[in-house]
Amino acid sequence: MRKISLEKLDSLFAAISASQKLYLPVDTKAGAKFEAWEEGKTLSGALNTVRSAKDFFFPQMENMVDFKVQGKNIEVIDIREECEDFVIFGVRACDVKSFEILDRVFLAEPVDTYYKNRRDHGVIISMACTKPAETCFCGTFGIDATAPEGDIVCHKTEDALYLDAKTEKGEKLLASLNALTEETDDTAVEAQKAVTRERLAKLPLANLKTDAFGAGKTMEFFNDPMWKELSQSCLGCGTCTFVCPTCQCYDIKDFNTGNGVKRFRCWDSCMYSDFTKMAHGNIRLTQLERFRQRFMHKLVYYPTNNDGLFSCVGCGRCLSKCPIQMNIVKVMNALGGQNNG
Ligand code: SF4
Ligand code: SF4
C-alpha cells in the first residue's frame, strides 16, 4: 500500500494527467460531476456524483456509424477509433460494482465493441466511503462501501490518501507514481474502515433484504396487485433510469445530413410510453406495465439471467431524485413485506 499527503494531491493528479486523461468528481452548481482534471480543479468532497460513472463506458449519446448516400449507392463509414487510455478517479463502491452489471450485458456475445473499447482503456481508481448517506443501501447487495473494487483502491483520511493496487493495470499506474508516494502499512485504513462500518450499520436502510426477490420469481410478483398502487403516481419522467448506474436501455436514431445518415445510440428509458413502440404497435400500454418492467428487471429478470446477481447497487440516486419520492426501496418493502420507512 502506498500513501501520499493530501497537500500533494495536485501533484498526484498532475503526474497522472501527464500521460493520460484523468477524470475526477468536482463540485458544480448542479452537484458533483466527473470532469477532466486541469490545474485549479479540486476533488469534490461529495459522497457521490449526480450522474454515475457509467457515462465513461456507456455515454448518453454516441455516433456509431455514418452512411454516405449517392443515388442508389450507400457507403458504410466505420467511424470507430481506438480509444485513448484514461483514468477515472474517485469512483464509489456502488458505481464500481455497476460496471460488472453493465459488463454482463455489453461484453456478452455478441460483444459491444464500442463499450469494450472504453472498458479496455479505462483505469478505475475507486474511493472508499467514510460518511455514507441515509439513502445508501449498497450493503443490501453485498457491496462493502469501505472496500470497493477497482484497479486501484483509495482511502482518504484527514491528512493522507492511501492507494492500493488490485489489478495489473492498477499496479502499473501506481508504480509510475512511486516518486510521489511512500510505502506504508494499512493501520490507518483499517481503523477508518472500522469507524465507517459502525456508521453503515446504523443507516436507515441497513436491514433492507433481498431475500424475497431473485432468480425465477417472475410468477410470484408479476400479477401482484401492489403494482397498481405503486405505479399510480409515476410521472414516467425517466429520471430514475438516467441517474441509475445500472440502467442500460438505449435507442438507435438516424439523423439525415442531406447527403447521408449519421447513426446515434442514445440512452432511452423503459419508463417512457414509446419505449416499446414497434411497427405493429406498443406492447406496454400502461405506466403500470412500464413501472413493473423497471423493477422486475432489477430484482427478478436480471438475476434470472445472471447467476442471481441483482441489477441494483444501492447507490440511492433514485431515492433522492424521483420527483414523487417513488423508488426501488419502496417497491422492495411493498412487495417483499419489509418495513424500511
Ligand atoms: S435502482 Fe436506484 S438505488 Fe438501485 S442502482 Fe439504480 S439508481 Fe441506484
Ligand atoms: S419512478 Fe419517479 S423518477 Fe422514475 S419515472 Fe416514475 S416519477 Fe420519474
Half-sphere exposure of 51 (CA within 13 A, CB side): 14
| Atom of ligand 1 minimally distant from the CA of 317 | 7
Question: Residue 339's pLDDT band (boundaries 50, 70, 90)?
Answer: confident
Residues with CB under 6 A from ligand 1: 243-246, 298, 312-318, 328
Taking the centre of ligand 2 as the mean of its atom positions, its distance from the CA of residue 334, in whole angstroms, is: 17
110 backbone dihedrals φ, ψ, rounded to 5°: -75, 130
Taking the centre of ligand 2 as the mean of its atom positions, its distance from the CA of residue 326, in whole angstroms, is: 7
Residues with CB under 6 A from ligand 2: 234-240, 271, 322-324, 326
Mean of per-residue pLDDT scores for the chain: 96
pLDDT tens digits for 156-199? 999 999 999 999 999 999 999 999 999 999 999 999 999 999 99
pLDDT tens digits for 214-241? 999 999 999 999 999 999 999 999 999 9
Indicate which ligand has the atom closest to the C-alpha of 311.
1
Indicate which ligand has the atom closest to the C-alpha of 329.
1
Cα 142 from chain centre: 16
Q: What is the DSSP string of 223-249?
A: T-THHHHHHTT-----HHHHH-SS---
66: enclosing H helix or E strand: strand 61-70
Residue 84: closest CA among 128, 32, 135, 121: 121
Site to probe by mutation for ligand 2, drawn from 322, 327, 328 as the one with most ligand atoms within 8 Å of Cβ, is: 322
Q: What is the mean pLDDT of residues 14-30?
A: 97
Helix axes 93-106, 113-121, angle to 10 degrees: 140
Question: Residue 341's pLDDT band (boundaries 50, 70, 90)?
Answer: low
Taking the centre of ligand 1 as the mean of its atom positions, its distance from the CA of residue 228, in whole angstroms, is: 21
Say whether 255 sits in a helix, a strand or coil.
strand
Indicate which ligand has the atom closest to the C-alpha of 326.
2
| Atom of ligand 1 minimally distant from the CA of 135 | 3
Q: What is the mean pLDDT of residues 39-57?
A: 96
pLDDT tens digits for 93-110? 999 999 999 999 999 999
| Atom of ligand 1 minimally distant from the CA of 329 | 3
Q: What is the mean pLDDT of residues 266-287?
A: 93
CB 288 within 8 A of CB 231: yes
